[in-house]
A = this chain, B = another copy of it.
């Protein structure tokens, strides 16, 4: 992990750079998978699953029976933990659902309002691999239910025996996923975007994934399927003053570093002694981690930076636009007003990222790779469309009608003007 001491402001931009990914050939590989699923549908899913996941599936859809069996195998302690997380996530996200919004009378007789309507069909993708990310099912499934989406399907790859981790099945069932399909990778994204005989087409796709999944989401977005947000490797930036606890800071940096070799972690501080103490803690703690090798690779992309003041740290952080931002300070609340670009912010020494990752109630699907400059994390908003309504009375159109006629004419739209003129005439004659 490289240390930088009081870098010049003109060098900051270079220090916000993310590790570059090699994407050569990715688009054409993914495009060919998309085309295959589009044309061969279920047959392509069976074939690609055999090719990439090394398993010959009997059926793509997970039967009810398998879900029921899986539930029985989940230890009580884990069930209770997942239920506590569900309760907090539900509480936080329910507050995001707007009641039908207030009717605004912009002018007498001109009433306008918005209504939030759940997107009818949504698809969630949960990656396979070593870590069964059941927590992401909570983060996507709960707001989808609150938004009142009708069909909430889930695709996730199975292992070589054709089975899906029981914690995934348990959580999917708990939050009310409507159907679960054993399919992973770009082929899962294609199936949800275009539909197959078994897997229904959806209007919006959510969830994390590897480079193939991410590219597939980008490409189907161009054909009209909405996606949650662009994706990149996970990252954290911690701003610590001398009241931050080095032991906790090191643990939080490592909890991000263990995500993947391409993760990035950054510590900013106005205190040299804090930076030094964090370094010592990092060395001590990393030795004990099962995912030590991954964390070590991630630390290679990572930076400890001494800056002049906490105000400079906030400015640097806004330039970096971190997915996760921890303010490790007893006075964290004092520093929040200038935060412009960040996905989720954790204040004080006891707000670890793990809390938001699992159970505090906030969403953990957040903009990475600097996208916090222009994207929000997932929320109930992500699962609804807001439809505007308006109702004009005769008095309403009489009040604003002349202005509409003038503007429409100035833009050269005479039929637009005429739609008003006819109404005004009819009112005057009536």
Contact = CB atoms under 8 A, between A and B. Distances in A.
Interface of A: 77-78, 80-82, 84-85, 87-89, 91-92, 95-96, 101-102, 104, 106-107, 110, 112, 114, 117, 119-120, 130-135, 167, 203-204, 218, 221-222, 224-226, 230, 245, 247-248, 251-252, 254-255, 257-259, 285, 288-291, 295, 332-333, 336, 339-363, 367, 369-377, 379, 381, 384-394, 396-397, 400, 402-404, 406-408, 410-420, 422-423, 426
A247 B426 contact: yes
A85 B247 contact: no
Contacts of A372: 385, 387
Contacts of A347: 389-391
Among A135, A203, A349, A389, which residue has the most Cβ atoms of chain B within 10 A?
Answer: A389
Given A203-B374, A224-B374, A247-B422, 4 more contacts: A82-B407, A88-B107, A120-B340, A348-B392
Copies of this chain held together in the complex: 2
A52 B123 CA distance: 42
A390 B346 contact: yes
Contact of A387 (B289, B290, B344): B344
Contacts of A400: 84, 88, 355, 359-360
Contact of A407 (B135, B352, B390): B135
A370 to B, nearest CB: 7
Contacts of A112: 92, 360-362
B397 A355 contact: yes
A248 B419 contact: yes
B407 A359 contact: yes
Contacts of A343: 387-388
A411 B225 contact: no
A374 B220 CA distance: 13
Contacts of A340: 117, 120
A258 B391 contact: no
A114 B91 CA distance: 13
B416 A357 contact: yes
B339 A408 contact: no
A370 B224 contact: yes
